[in-house]
Amino acid sequence: MAKLRSGLCGLLLAAVGAAQGTLADYERSVRLAEKWRPYTAGMTGAVRWIGETGRFWYQRNTSDGHEFVVGDTTGETRAAFDHERLAKALGEASGRSLKAARLALTEVEFSARENSVEFTLGEGVRWKADLGTYTVKRLWQREARFGAITGPRVAEGTGPVESPDGGREAFVRNYNVWLREKASKKEWALSSDGSEGNYYTLGGAVWSPDGKKMAVYRVRPGQRRRILYIESSPADQVQPRTRETAYVKPGDALDIPRPVLFDVVAGRQVEVEATLFANPYAMSRIRWYKDSRAFTFEYNQRGHQVYRVVEVDAATGQARAVVEERSGTFFCYYSKLYAKDVDDGREWIWMSERDGWNHLYLYDGAPGKVKNRITQGEWVVRTVLGVDEKRRQIYFTASGMDAGKDPYFRHLFRVGFDGGGLRRLTEGDADHNVSLSPDFEYFTAERSRVDMAPVLELRRTRDGSVVKTLEKVDEGALRSAGWRGPEVLTAKGRDGKTDIWGVLYRPSQFEAGKKYPVLEYIYAGPHDSFVPKTFAAAHPMQAVAELGFIVVQMDGMGTSNRSKAFHDVCWKNIGDAGFADRILWHKAAAAKYAWYDAERLGIYGHSAGGQNSLGALLRHGDFYKAAASSAGCHDNRMDKISWNEQWMGWPVGAEYAASSNVEMADKLKGKLLLAVGELDTNVDPASTMQVVNALIRAGKTFDLLFLPGAGHGGWGDYWDRKRADFFVEHLLGVKPPDWNAVTPPGVKTE
């Protein structure tokens, strides 16, 4: 009977998915980027303005690689340098073979006169090139060190920190603050109460502009948790070596910084009353007003529910809250934090979700009260790009203002400090990636959608008018060659009224008469939204689809960039991951398309997506049939403090266990592939191994790939192929190619 059932299953799979998951499909998947690369000439990277000038630069694709371009506010552009000469000079200096059309330069910085450029190449090596002589100089190499995920610590430093007039310098000796006259070398102590358990640090120390006072943090150190690793296969030796990294986890004791004010002239130390910042998660760098009357810092209270801008009077040391934000759930410390003082602290521009939507407010700095709202409505401010204090205008991107349109598309707006004169400066049903000139007179905007090739324009902020189209991808040629973009699909979420937005990728060999298994790519991290909104000729999801799948992604409730209520679903509830909305989205897609086989539904994700993808089988195993989970933070108690305490709260409570995949391992249904990097310093590898242990104890069957030497990402073709094989076998019902007998596509052989 079992053999008969297996045979019938095989016949059924052959009927609905014949000739999928073949070697040709793998080849097409691997070669996708290579195929479409010649058609993406004109695609650009981010536009960067050069210092305070009216000139900018960007990287753009060419038919055989890329090049660097500079332009000005007339719209004229040219090559930023002689790529051949730079490649030759850099190759000779570095001992590497470099191609002019493939210069992998990062962290690029042009000098104001564009006669030199600094950049990073390779393993953190910093170079400077003279663009007149094309001589290159190696500046420094970033220290190769084992990565560290630490908690919010005050920057430690012993100095020296020079006074504004350059005559004195502060330094730390025996945990206390000392001063030295640079001319006479005379030294004296400013403090005497520092100790190893309560020390002064000059990492965040700042002199007042008049040089008469100094503000310094004194720190009571918290827990110093370390994670130990065994590097099994070092490249430079036969024997394994041990590694360790600093890694603070939820509930750990944190550093407690306290600002201390020193009157340098009087030799007096002023302790600042700590009531307003008694329990910090993090405190920002100290900043003095220009007139030296006071200094400020930002305070995020442990638990991410109270945030303050604190001002300390330089004469008395008295502290007061200029701005205070409170939330019953969380204050989004990642993407919804903006505080800027205007007119030396007389006013403050502040970002808040207090009315349920992310908006801007103007505070009167003297009483610390809201002067007026700047923006309002059922839409969200995304990013403040610039504040023109002279004209009292703010430039920002926002989304969600257009009913019926994608609520994630960004547009550029300008508004007055008083909330008047709100004006949209970009138009069209598309996303806009904007870069604002330093003088607020111009901006560049790259306009695109997942199904529409990008156009980069230079525009005037005065009225949004176009100065010149800088770059444009030939979408007609791309489509003529057979390219087809993904489909945007919406469905109602769990509340029956909120639209859940997603995308759907079909294989290029799609046949409407077949039924296709579905793969969902998931990343439900609450700090952002993740469904692609901009153009990519060869998106990784499309590459997976080429194997014979429909591949989809959607942003369920609990992710960001919608209303506060939409976001708050994640609060103390990471395990939810928006599945109530995702399942409805799949059902809607299956109802719309006969070829959408929601009965053969798989899911894959990495990091937070690794937690989410395994969670699908543990919590919704009757709906999802297979999952590939890589580098998952499977238990929020095991993961980094910064991300997890923000969404799961503090102190650590029962909700952490409720969201843990480890605690629910006995609920596993379906096929599971777990993967983890041996040297992952972002997510503790023990998080995966504890899930493995729990699954074994529960008698569950699963696959595990342990990658020697691998970190959190960049696992390469082997993992991509292993994951593909897993879904080809378990959802397509096809035996993957024997890679021990056939050379995998993309693998070079000698």
pLDDT in tens, 488-547: 999 999 999 999 999 999 999 999 999 999 999 999 999 999 999 999 999 999 999 999
Contact 529, 536 (CB under 8 A): no
Question: How far apart are alpha carbons 630 and 704 in whole angstroms?
Answer: 10
Please report the pLDDT score of residue 4 as a whole number: 34
pLDDT score recorded for residue 520: 99
- DSSP symbol at 575: G
Residue 2 reports pLDDT greater than 70 = no
CB 553 within 8 A of CB 466: no
3-class DSSP state of 719? helix
Q: What is the mean pLDDT of residues 321-343?
A: 94
Between residues 563 and 1, the one the model is more confident about: 563
pLDDT bucket at 144, cuts 50 / 70 / 90: low
Predicted confidence (pLDDT) at residue 581 exceeds the cutoff of 80: yes
Look at residue 210 and tell me whether its pLDDT is greater than 70: yes
- With a CB cutoff of 8 Å and minimum separation 6, the contacts of 172 are 157, 158, 159, 178, 194, 199, 200, 201, 202
**Cβ atoms of residues 286 and 277 within 8 Å:** no
> Which pLDDT tens digit goes with each residue over 583-593?
999 999 999 99
Task: Kindly report the average pLDDT of the chain as a whole number.
Answer: 95
579-592 and 608-619 helices, crossing angle to 10°: 70
Collapsing DSSP to helix, strand or coil, 456 comes out as: strand
**How many DSSP H helices and E strands does the chain contain?**
13, 43
The helix/strand/coil state of 731 is: helix
- What pLDDT score does 145 carry? 60
Q: What is the dihedral angle through the alpha carbons of 683, 689, 691, 693, rounded to the nearest 10 degrees?
A: -160
Per-residue DSSP letter, 737: P
What count of Cα atoms within 13 Å lies in the side-chain half-sphere of residue 299? 27
In which region does residue 380 sit, left (phi positive, over 0), alpha (psi from -120 to 50) or beta (all else)? beta
Rounded CA gap, 700 and 697, in Å? 8
As a whole number of angstroms, the distance between CA 342 and CA 348 comes to: 6
Q: Is 463 exposed, middle or buried (0-12, 13-18, 19+ CB in 10 A)?
A: exposed
Res. 356: pLDDT tops 90: yes
Q: 386 is written with which tokens? A: 């610039």
Judge whether residue 605 has pLDDT over 80. Answer: yes
Inform me whether the pLDDT recorded for 551 exceeds 90.
yes
Bridge partners, 602 (sequence order): 519, 626
Contact yes or no for 724/544 (Cβ under 8 A): yes
Window from 307-321, 330-344, 535-549 with minimum mean pLDDT: 330-344
CA distances to 168, 207, 264, 382, 393 from 267, in Å? 14, 14, 5, 46, 43
Query: Is the pLDDT assigned to residue 147 strictly greater than 80?
Result: no
- Which among 388, 348, 336 has a CA at the least distance from the CA of 372? 348
Give the tokens for residue 155.
């920057």
The pLDDT value given to residue 180: 97
> Which contiguous run of DSSP H or E holds residue 517?
strand 516-521
The arithmetic mean of pLDDT across residues 294-300, rounded, is: 97
Query: HSE (CB half, 13 Å, CA atoms) of 674?
Result: 28
**pLDDT band at residue 16 under the 50/70/90 scheme:** very low
Cα separation values, 218 from 194, 202, 203, 205, 264, Å? 8, 9, 10, 10, 17
- Percentage of the chain beyond pLDDT 90 is 92
The tokens describing 747, both together, are: 């693998």
pLDDT level of residue 724 (50, 70, 90 thresholds): very high
In sequence order, the 6+-apart residues with CB closer than 8 A to the CB of 5 are: none
Predicted confidence at residue 156, as pLDDT, reads: 86
Average pLDDT (434-449) is 98
Backbone angles phi, psi at 564, to 5 degrees: -60, -40
Any idea which residue has 């060419």 for tokens? 62
pLDDT at 13 over 60: no
pLDDT of residue 104: 95
In this structure, what are the phi and psi dihedrals at residue 556, rounded to the nearest 5 degrees? -85, 175
Strand partners, 459: 443, 466
Q: In what order do the strands lie in the sheet with 168-173?
A: 161-162, 168-173, 176-181, 187-189
Question: H/E element holding 244?
Answer: strand 241-246
Q: Region 277-304: what's the mean pLDDT?
A: 97
For residue 578, what pLDDT band results from cuts at 50, 70 and 90?
A: very high
Which residue, among 542, 552, 467, 483, has the nearest Cα to 507 in the 3D structure?
Answer: 542
Mean of the pLDDT values across residues 283-290? 96
**What would the pLDDT profile of 75-117 be if each residue is shown by its tens digit?**
999 999 999 999 999 999 999 999 999 999 999 999 999 999 9
Residue 425 pLDDT > 70:
yes
Predicted pLDDT of residue 241: 96
User: Residue 533: which region, alpha, beta or left (left: phi > 0; alpha: psi -120 to 50)?
Assistant: alpha
DSSP characters over 588-648: HHHHH-TTEEEEEEEEEEETHHHHHHHHHHHHSTTT--EEEEES----TTTS-HHHHHHHH
Q: Give the C-alpha separation, 560 to 74, whole Å.
A: 38
Handedness of CA 354, 359, 364, 368 (dihedral sign): positive
Q: Considering the chain, what percentage of its residues have pLDDT values greater than 70?
A: 97
Question: Among 2-11, 54-63, 453-462, 500-509, where is mean pLDDT lowest?
Answer: 2-11
Q: What is the DSSP string of 642-689?
A: HHHHHHH-SS--HHHHHT-TTTTGGG--SEEEEEEETT-SSS-THHHH
Tell me, what's the pLDDT at 398? 98
Lowest mean per-residue pLDDT among 56-65, 151-160, 185-194, 224-233: 151-160
Pairing state between β 487-492 and 499-505: antiparallel
Beta-carbon neighbour count of residue 154 at 10 Å? 21
pLDDT-derived band at 148, boundaries 50, 70, 90: low
Q: In this model, does residue 738 exceed pLDDT 90?
A: yes
Predicted TM-score (pTM) of the model is 0.95
Strands (E) across 329-368 are located at 339-342, 347-352, 359-364
Indicate whether 710 pLDDT > 80. Answer: yes
Q: Is the pLDDT of residue 15 over 50?
A: no
Closest by alpha carbon to 171, among 221, 216, 220?
216
Residue 9: band (very low, low, confident or very high) from pLDDT cuts 50, 70, 90:
very low
Domains of the chain plus CATH, in order, are 2-30+489-732 (3.40.50.1820), 40-141 (no CATH)
Coil vs helix vs strand at 328: coil
**Under 8 Å between Cβ of 329 and 320:** no
Q: Using an 8 Å Cβ cutoff, are 545 and 570 in contact?
A: no
Is-contact 588 573, C-beta < 8 A?
no
User: Which tokens belong to 666?
Assistant: 């006995």
Supply the pLDDT for residue 34.
Answer: 93
